[in-house]
Amino acid sequence: MSLKGARIVRFRCDENGDLHDKEVYGPSAWGQGAYPDGISFDEYGNLWGTMVYSNKVWFIDPEGEGHILIDFGDHDKVQALDDAFYAGKVTNEILFPTAAGPCAWTASVCFGGPDRRTVYIGALKETSIPFFRSPAAGLPMVHWNDTY
C-alpha cells in the first residue's frame, strides 16, 4: 500500500508564476484516512486543513509537525475506504458510509468573525456550518481588499 499521495507538498513561485523547489511540507504521511482538502493559514504560520472522508481537521505548525485537532471519523469505515482506494476498488457502498459526526465529509476550514478567530468548517454532507473559537486569528484572505 502506498501512502505517497497522503501528504502536503509546496513549491516556491517565481515572479513569472513558475513553480520551483518542490518539497513535502509537514508529515510525510498522515496515516489512516489521509485525504487532505481545504486549507487556510493562521497568523502564527500554522497551516490548517481538513481530511474529507475521515472527517478530520488538522494543522501543520511552523516547524513542520502535523497535528490532528478534530477526528470524527468512523475508523473501521475509513479503513475500509483506504483499503478499497489503494486497491483501486472504491464503490459508493464503501465511500458513502464514511460520512460521520457533526462535520461529515469535512472539505474546508476558514477563519472569520470580527477578530478572525472563529473557525468555520465546511462539510459536504451537512446543512449547517460547524464552528469553534481559535486561540489564533486566521490570515485575511488575499482577495478581501480587491475592488471590482
CATH number assigned to the domain comprising residue 37: 2.40.10
Domain coverage including residue 38: 31-133
How many domains does the structure of the chain reveal? Answer: 1
pLDDT tens across 134-144, in order? 999 999 877 77
Q: What is the pLDDT of residue 72?
A: 93
pLDDT tens digits, one per residue of 47-102: 999 999 999 999 999 999 999 999 999 999 999 999 999 999 999 999 999 998 88
pLDDT confidence of residue 1: 43
To the question of pTM greater than 0.85 for the whole model, the response is yes
Q: Is residue 112 part of a domain?
A: yes
Comparing CA positions, the residue from 79, 74, 85 lying closest to residue 32 is 79
18 has pLDDT over 50: yes
User: Largest Cα–Cα distance of the chain, in whole Å?
Assistant: 48
Asked, for residue 80, whether it belongs to a domain, the answer is: yes
> What one-letter code names the amino acid at 127?
T
98-132 confidence digits (pLDDT tens) = 998 888 999 999 999 999 999 999 999 999 999 99
In a domain, 20, yes or no: no
C-alpha Rg value of the chain to the nearest Å: 16
C-alpha grid cell for residue 27? 508529515
pLDDT of res. 12: 93
- Cβ proximity of 42 and 138 under 8 Å: yes
The answer to whether residue 56 is domain-embedded is yes
